Amino acid sequence: MPQLRKDPLSERWVIFAEGREERPNEFERVERRRPDARCPFCAGHEADTPPQLARYGRVDGTDGEGGAGWLVRVVPNKYPALLAHGRAEPDAHGLYVACDAVGAHEVIVESPRHVSSLTQLTPAEVQWLMVAYTDRLRALPRVSGCKYALAFKNVGPEAGASIEHAHSQIVGTTMVPSEVARELTASRRLLRQLRQCFFCRVVEDELTHGARLAAISDRFVAVCPYASRMPYEVWVLPREHASHFEQQEPEALEELAGFLQRVIARLEARHPQLAYNYFLHTAPFDTARLRHYHWHIEIFPRLTTTAGFEWGAGYYINPVPPEQAAANLRW
Amino acid sequence: MPQLRKDPLSERWVIFAEGREERPNEFERVERRRPDARCPFCAGHEADTPPQLARYGRVDGTDGEGGAGWLVRVVPNKYPALLAHGRAEPDAHGLYVACDAVGAHEVIVESPRHVSSLTQLTPAEVQWLMVAYTDRLRALPRVSGCKYALAFKNVGPEAGASIEHAHSQIVGTTMVPSEVARELTASRRLLRQLRQCFFCRVVEDELTHGARLAAISDRFVAVCPYASRMPYEVWVLPREHASHFEQQEPEALEELAGFLQRVIARLEARHPQLAYNYFLHTAPFDTARLRHYHWHIEIFPRLTTTAGFEWGAGYYINPVPPEQAAANLRW
């Protein structure tokens, strides 16, 4: 059973998931997948993954390359970091606190074709991907004990991807993850201070002066944050206040699909073969509409490596100011 | 002028150091140094670095390969992330807080020979390295405004090393870095709770049951922490309580040199060509002996890559429990 342990000093949680050692590429981060290896995510290889949780595409099942019958599919992760059943209440063991790592770990295969970046997906595939995110965020609260789900994407070995074929992951957890909890606390404080949602204020400021605005559409903006940790870090936010991603309307999701693809295409134009992560920060399941929180997608290009200083100090060193990154990405 | 900016949401500090883009290997993390490139740290190339701040070795200058006249030398970083002069007081700019990135950024060249790991150093070289750490920690408070200095080491491109030749870095800062501040706060709370220094208690526990003890000497232990973020993460701590590294006696430093080399040799025996970071956490300059804080060196093997889940959740996934790592490393 994977275990969740808390560090008494930093209060950081660590998931110990021993089975994951067996997954492809663990401890072999640099090499790309061997061209002769069989890809478990390609059309026709559906039996290589655990049984499908959801599929997206035309209802008659005629779409997908070679009539795969799907454009996007959701499956349980074969090497899950968390398991569906166990004891989620933390117990103290002397100095330490631990519990079973209970939750959900799913994979969203983004295309039946063997492509690696979001920019290689068809518009329909990206749109179904956005729909799949909202569907899983709606479905996961029904999974025993889940309070939160983090949707994220790893592209390239430097970004921790162990499989090249374009895919996202969703991890459902019984606690609100610390990064999200930290944002929730800080944004509540900032609402009192600014008398306005912090994120709305950032959007407003950037739409006014534009120094860190990287792209814009009717409903969305892409901003390089003032204190970007990584060169070319970009956050995508809705222009209208919205705390819960899963409450976005279908037309907004359709627009977001094209917008996200455009932003990543600009990053890749600047840095070919870019390795990157992105992750979706949204409000916890058990909250109603929050005035202080605003969902957003953080895109993290992996252009620099965190080294001893970053790990030891908790400070980041970024050689590219966000104003310069935004100017280079601007529409 | 490099700038230090604070993210309003996470309260993380980021150093924007534009000049560092020019340093070798920025944005080219995977490739090792080309064999034909001239190494600025080798004996005979002393003029390739800024003027030396300190040198260590026999006083007659006869040691070092080819009579280099030094075994270990300290120089300013050619691509500093912080500069010696500027305005260190943070100013608010609308939503944001920033100041000049004031401090010190030094490099310690660990050998006149072109070697890459600490295990390839001679005993005298590692001993002088430990002396150099204490000397710089004593010297840096005299540098304008420095409250803290972080000594760290990056080995291998996956660990962010841009130069292969064995070296450490020291960054002096005008604020206590957030990771250290967090440990100071938590350890003060833990002292009240345990009526004992948390680190002393960990040492005591591990010496009693040994489940996570990786190595031991007269004065030091190496422990794989209970909630290790990384596979084979190892912390080196003095067995006797000590908050300030720079107050260690010469005999303790000599023992530490050999002990640290032994621990890293075991890690490398397990994982040849290991990329790793280590960093020294010690009490801030302006504190007297602290009952709650205990200096330690955190060794961070870079065997896994932080991916979207780690960045987005602030949780870590570690496939190797510290009990297994310690058993594999044990003396």
What is the spatial distance between Cα A65 and Cα A44, in angstroms, rounded to a whole number?
10
Residue B294 vs residues B138, B187, B188: alpha-carbon distances, Å: 18, 9, 11
Q: Are residues B159 and B273 in the same domain?
A: no
| CA-wise closest residue to A90 among A14, A142, A149 | A14
Q: Are residues A170 and A205 in the same domain?
A: no
What is the spatial distance between Cα B95 and Cα B161, in angstroms, rounded to a whole number?
35
Provide the pLDDT for residue B26.
44
Q: Are residues B210 and B163 in the same domain?
A: no
Check which CATH number belongs to the domain holding A300 and give it: 3.30.428.10
With CA atoms as reference, the chain A residue closest to B7 would be: A227
Residues 119-138 of A with CB under 8 A from B: none
Provide the pLDDT for residue B31.
42
What is the spatial distance between Cα A132 and Cα A71, in angstroms, rounded to a whole number?
11
DSSP string, B24-74: TTTT--SSPPPTTSPPTTSTT-GGGSSPPSEEES-TTS--SGGG-S-SEEE
What ipTM describes this predicted complex?
A: 0.92
Q: How far is CA A71 from the centre of its chain?
A: 20
Identify which of A6, A150, A307 has the shortest CB distance to residue B154. Answer: A307
Domain count, chain B: 2
Q: Are residues A254 and A321 in the same domain?
A: yes
Q: Are residues B100 and B79 in the same domain?
A: yes
Residue B66 to chain A, least CA–CA distance (Å): 31
Q: Are residues B170 and B281 in the same domain?
A: no
Provide the pLDDT for residue B192.
97
The residue out of B150, B175, B200 marking a domain boundary is: B175
**Residue A91 touches chain B, beta carbons under 8 Å:** no
Mean pLDDT by 10 residues, chain A (331 residues): 93 85 48 67 94 85 67 94 88 91 96 94 96 96 87 95 95 95 97 97 95 97 97 98 97 98 97 96 95 98 94 95 96 61
* Residue B68 identity: A
**Residue A95 touches chain B, beta carbons under 8 Å:** yes
Residues of A in Cβ contact (< 8 Å) with B183: 9-10
- Residue of A95, A270, A315 best to disrupt the B interface, most CBs of B under 10 A: A315
What is the spatial distance between Cα B236 and Cα B221, in angstroms, rounded to a whole number?
6
With CA atoms as reference, the chain A residue closest to B152 would be: A308
Residue B61 to chain A, least CA–CA distance (Å): 32
Provide the pLDDT for residue B32.
44
Q: Are residues B147 and B257 in the same domain?
A: no
**Residue B317 touches chain A, beta carbons under 8 Å:** yes
From A18-27, B133-142, B252-261, the region with the lowest mean pLDDT: A18-27
Residue A108 forms beta bridges with which residues?
A74, A168
Residues of A in Cβ contact (< 8 Å) with B30: 30, 158
Q: Are residues A48 and A75 in the same domain?
A: yes
Q: What's the mean pLDDT in B220-244? A: 98
Q: What's the mean pLDDT in B171-176? A: 94
CB atoms within 10 A of CB B94: 9
**Residue A14 touches chain B, beta carbons under 8 Å:** yes
What is the spatial distance between Cα A234 and Cα A229, in angstroms, rounded to a whole number?
10
What is the spatial distance between Cα B149 and Cα B140, in angstroms, rounded to a whole number?
7
Q: Residue A55, SS3?
A: strand
Provide the pLDDT for residue B1.
83
Buried residues in B233-248 as b, exposed as e (16+ CB within 10 A): bbbbbbeebbbbbbeb
Q: Are residues A166 and A183 in the same domain?
A: no
Mean pLDDT of chain B: 91
The residue out of B119, B148, B175 marking a domain boundary is: B175
Q: What's the mean pLDDT in B305-322? A: 95
Residues 162-221 of B with CB under 8 A from A: 169, 171, 173, 177-180, 182-183, 186-187, 190, 194, 198, 201-202, 205
Plot region of A69 (φ>0 → left; ψ -120 to 50 → alpha; else → beta): left
Q: Are residues A49 and A171 in the same domain?
A: yes
The residue out of A127, A153, A175 marking a domain boundary is: A175
pLDDT tens figures, B44-58: 999 999 999 999 997
Q: Are residues A163 and A123 in the same domain?
A: yes
**Residue B227 touches chain A, beta carbons under 8 Å:** yes
Q: What's the mean pLDDT in B120-145? A: 93
What's the token pair of residue A290? 């929050």
Q: Are residues A95 and A133 in the same domain?
A: yes
Q: Which domain holds residue B116?
A: 3-175
Q: Is A324 exposed, middle or buried (0-12, 13-18, 19+ CB in 10 A)?
A: middle
